């Protein structure tokens, strides 16, 4: 039996389950039991929050032939229909979710959201897809279309080039019949249910186990 106090179930009155400290230096084990209990509950809503943010791309054309949500759905649908696994398909769905807040580094936003839940390979692909996608248009905007060649010797160069070639740069067809967002929702829910890696994973796992005892 662990000597760590079990987290208390959240009370109906949020006032009663708040930490008492005014500065963290004064925090206690009890304070942090309240906070971790809330975090565990809040974290379960992550997939819904991600999906809600993805919906912000709806109707945002940015001069493209399809809006950014349709582009995301089309990228994911093409990957799905090509037999890619669920983690890959969710990466395809979310690869441009950073367009709303990361105007100058949108791949970094998607990569940060996905990082705890995906392989290093898929994380690298999402992080670098902007440079690889540039192969198809950078020369039209005064940039070097071969910028991706800086990664020529990287083991995931081809993997990322394929993502852009087969799915991302292909996903601007207004006549393509994509699956709706609802089709992908269960996949997003499953992927975001349990982090593979996170600074907080050990603490959350411990509390999850104790809560289930
Ligand atoms: Fe992108
Ligand atoms: Fe894209």
Which sequence spans correspond to the domains of the chain?
47-191
Please determine, for residue 46, whether its predicted confidence score (pLDDT) is greater than 60: yes
Measure the CA–CA gap between 80 and 70, rounded to whole angstroms.
15
Please determine, for residue 62, whether its predicted confidence score (pLDDT) is greater than 80: yes
Question: Nearest bound ligand to CA 132?
Answer: 1
How confident is the model at residue 15, as a pLDDT? 52
Question: Nearest bound ligand to CA 126?
Answer: 1
Q: Which of 68, 136, 134 is nearest to 101 (CA)?
A: 68
- Mean pLDDT, rounded, for 11-24: 79
pLDDT digits (tens, 9 = 90+) for 68-124: 999 999 999 999 999 999 999 999 999 999 999 999 999 999 999 999 999 999 999
How confident is the model at residue 206, as a pLDDT? 81
Q: What distance in angstroms lies between residue 196's CA and the mean position of ligand 1's atoms?
A: 24
- Contact status, residue 57 vs residue 69, Cβ threshold 8 Å: yes
Question: Nearest bound ligand to CA 125?
Answer: 1
Residue ranges with CB less than 5 Å from ion ligand 1 = 96
- Mean pLDDT, rounded, for 29-36: 93
- The pTM (predicted TM-score) of the whole model is 0.90
Q: What distance in angstroms lies between residue 6's CA and the mean position of ligand 2's atoms?
A: 45
- Mean pLDDT, rounded, for 130-159: 98
Q: What distance in angstroms lies between residue 15's CA and the mean position of ligand 1's atoms?
A: 42
Measure the CA–CA gap between 203 and 120, rounded to whole angstroms.
22
How confident is the model at residue 8, as a pLDDT? 54
Residue keyed to tokens 């990957």: 79
**What are the angstrom distances between the C-alpha of 191 and each of 37, 50, 61, 126?**
21, 11, 28, 15
Measure the CA–CA gap between 166 and 137, rounded to whole angstroms.
16
**What are the angstrom distances between the C-alpha of 65 and each of 93, 168, 172?**
18, 14, 6
Query: What is the third-level CATH fold of 47-191?
Result: Hypothetical protein af1432 (1.10.3210)
How confident is the model at residue 1, as a pLDDT? 41
């Amino acid at each position: 039996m662990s000597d760590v106090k079990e987290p208390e179930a959240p009370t109906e009155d949020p006032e009663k389950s708040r930490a008492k400290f005014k500065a963290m230096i004064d925090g206690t084990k009890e304070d942090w039991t309240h906070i971790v209990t809330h975090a565990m509950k809040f974290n379960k809503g992550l997939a819904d929050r991600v999906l809600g943010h993805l919906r912000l791309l709806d109707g945002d054309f940015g001069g493209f032939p399809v809006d950014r949500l349709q582009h995301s759905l089309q990228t994911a649908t093409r990957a799905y229909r090509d037999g890619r696994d669920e983690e890959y398909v969710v990466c395809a769905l979310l690869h441009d979710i950073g367009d709303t807040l990361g105007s100058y580094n949108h791949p970094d936003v998607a990569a940060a959201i996905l990082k705890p839940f995906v392989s290093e390979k898929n994380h690298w692909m999402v992080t670098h897809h902007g440079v690889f996608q540039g192969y198809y248009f950078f020369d039209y905007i005064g940039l070097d279309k071969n910028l991706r060649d800086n990664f020529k010797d990287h083991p995931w160069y081809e993997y990322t080039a394929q993502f852009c070639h087969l799915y991302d740069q292909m996903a601007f067809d207004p006549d393509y019949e994509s699956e709706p967002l609802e089709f992908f929702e269960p996949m997003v829910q499953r992927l975001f249910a349990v982090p593979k890696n996170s600074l907080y994973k050990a603490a959350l796992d411990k509390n999850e186990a104790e809560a289930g005892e």
